[in-house]
Homo-oligomer: A and B are copies of this chain.
Amino acid sequence: MKEKVGICIIGMNGAVSSTAIVGLELLKKGMIEKNNLISEGFINKTNRTIVPESKSGDVVSIAESLDLCKLDDFVIQGWDVNQESVYESAINNGIIKRDLIDKVKDETIAMKPWKAFTVIRGVGAKEINVINESNFMEASDKIIENINHFREVNNLKNVMLVNLHPTEKWLNLGDIHSNLNLFEDALKNNHELINDSMVYAYSALKAGAGFIEFTPTISIQIPAISNLANEEKIPICGKDGKTGQTFLKVALAHAFRARQLRIEGWFSTNLLGNRDGETLANPENLDTKVKSKSEALSKIMGYDIDSHIVNINYYPPRGDNKEAWDNIDITGFCGENMQIKINFLCKDSILAAPMVIDLVRFMDYAMKNNEFGFQPWLSMFFKHPLHDEIDYSGLSFFEQERLLTDIILNGAN
């Protein structure tokens, strides 16, 4: 019997989560196209690039090359402070069209989240679905118990946690993050430098589950956790899904670089109206996000760009329909200036959800092949790719694509 793969989502009722879950159920039933998944794409063997269709003999299927798990093999569960079913949260989030959601009502109305862990209990009156243990370590035990029970009941070989929790506030690194002993003591003492995501990441590794950090929060990047992944031989990856504006930014940056057009300034502003936007209206959380969005550009270009500004605005009229506006000032021949302005009317969760599914499939491949620690070959999925020794953070989007296709083509041989 084929073994199944488990996905445990932190923040199961959020916009990205419910879109990914409903989307996955729709995919299983063949009710939406699977051609937005990278893992369902092909690779042109000559150019080593991802292409949508298998038109000529010179391409290979990504899923076949890596013998990826089937979409049917996924089982999903998760945590949320909200008690709604996935069906209800999908409707409330208002991202996927209602008639599509209703096609998988039976599957999703039964999906209700486990009680969630949160360092600050009682964020809002509606949010009562919380783990209520006396310290963070006991909460972690509870999370581990959830994972193990989920694995057993569903006969899962591999389980992957995906962090889709709203962005948490920036934390400076301290001693307690530097090694496992200090970190475990800190868990027992409810230390103020511990956030929700660290507790989940620690629990995942302790339960033998992989961890995908899709948010900008500090979690798996602290040595206490990344070393644990190496010791436990478990793959981890992150961080901060490169969905929209930053995706275009690092693609265009490469284009300017290849044409020797110098970037004098880059101004990026965002309008967000969903819960993510509301969270980022808090300056402490915003700081975490802006840091994550700002770093790559200068590294890709190879010189400092002083006038790189990233703004994020909570703007309710638009809901999940995120909008990005960028202005780029470039200098060309004879010192002449030019400008490029980009307006991206995107749908955040629609961009993110298929990436979550792709990441779980690729991480499952890594787990099956005994890869562990950071997985920099998945850099194209992240704004801030985490790594061990070799720093891949200066790679452009196309160099990251190549990193992925090289692995797949080599893995395929």
Contact = CB atoms under 8 A, between A and B. Distances in A.
A61 to B, nearest CB: 13
B341 A342 contact: yes
A50 interface: yes
A395 interface: yes
Contacts of A157: none
Contacts of A301: 52
Interface in A259-278: 259-262, 264-265, 267, 269, 271
Contacts of A325: 269, 325, 327, 341
Contacts of A267: 271, 313, 315
A145 to B, nearest CB: 33
B350 A336 contact: yes
B327 A350 contact: no
Contacts of A258: 38, 49-50, 380, 397-398, 401
Interface stretch (A174-182, A184-192, A225-233, A246-254): A246-254
A57 interface: no
Most buried by B among A316, A331, A345: A345
Interface of A: 19, 23, 26, 32-33, 35-38, 40-41, 47, 49-53, 55, 95-97, 100, 247-248, 251-252, 254-255, 257-262, 264-265, 267, 269, 271, 301-303, 306-307, 309, 311, 313, 315-318, 323, 325, 327, 329, 331-347, 350-351, 353-354, 380, 395-399, 401-402
16 contacts: A19-B334, A32-B333, A35-B260, A36-B260, A36-B261, A38-B258, A49-B258, A52-B260, A53-B302, A95-B336, A96-B336, A97-B334, A265-B317, A307-B316, A332-B347, A340-B344
